Amino acid sequence: MGRRMVEDDIYISSLFDLLNLRFGPTQAIPENLGGIEEMAALQKEFQIFKRGRSFRDSAAIMNLGGFWNAEAKTRWYRLLDDLKDYESNVTKQNGNDAIVNALIRNLASPKPLPVHFKAHDSRAEGERRVFVSREARPIFYMERDYLTISLPMKPREPTKARKARAKK
């Protein structure tokens, strides 16, 4: 899926940062807005995530496509839209549905976990799918459990390889 971003692949880590800040742990000062508690309140009020609505559309509602570059934003939303075409590690759910359903359950729980979004290399056998898990401490320097969502990605092909493939 990194190939979907083409030369805008340099923005991928920043786009994950936007997601991770939005769904991150709530800060220590209660009156500060942000983090998972605010997301749970917004979900309760507006149902940002719901069955039948794509993760791509929910991300767009929250403007989580970046603001640096319109083309990168379009490519990122296409990448998120492609998740419906990927399997997941959740039985009978494609990648999109596994993410949406996990977020709905998590945000409705009495103590929602912060969510950590990341990518994994999909070139290895069995890795071309979305992984959703309750991963204990995915960020070693933060002693916190998270709901972890990992998107399959692989590097884009070098320009020569893309051109050769296009000629076929």
Cα separation values, 139 from 36, 116, 154, Å: 16, 8, 22
Q: What is the rounded CA–CA span in Å between residue 134 and residue 137? A: 9
Number of domains the chain contains: 1
Q: How far apart are CA 27 and CA 16, in angstroms?
A: 19
The b-or-e profile of 69-79 (16+ CB within 10 A means b, else e) is eeebbebbbeb
What confidence category does residue 33 fall into, taking pLDDT thresholds of 50, 70 and 90? confident
Q: Tell me: pLDDT of 153 over 60.
A: yes
- Is pLDDT of 10 > 90? no
Residue 41, token pair as written in the block: 């309140």
Instruction: Give residue 121's domain range.
Output: 2-167
Mean pLDDT of 146-161: 84
User: Bigger pLDDT: 147 or 9?
Assistant: 147
Report whether pLDDT(1) > 60.
no
Range of 32-46, 103-117, 150-164 with top mean pLDDT: 103-117
Contact by Cβ (8 Å): 101, 93: yes
- Name which of 116, 99, 110 is nearest 40 in CA terms: 110
Residue written as token pair 């929250």: 62
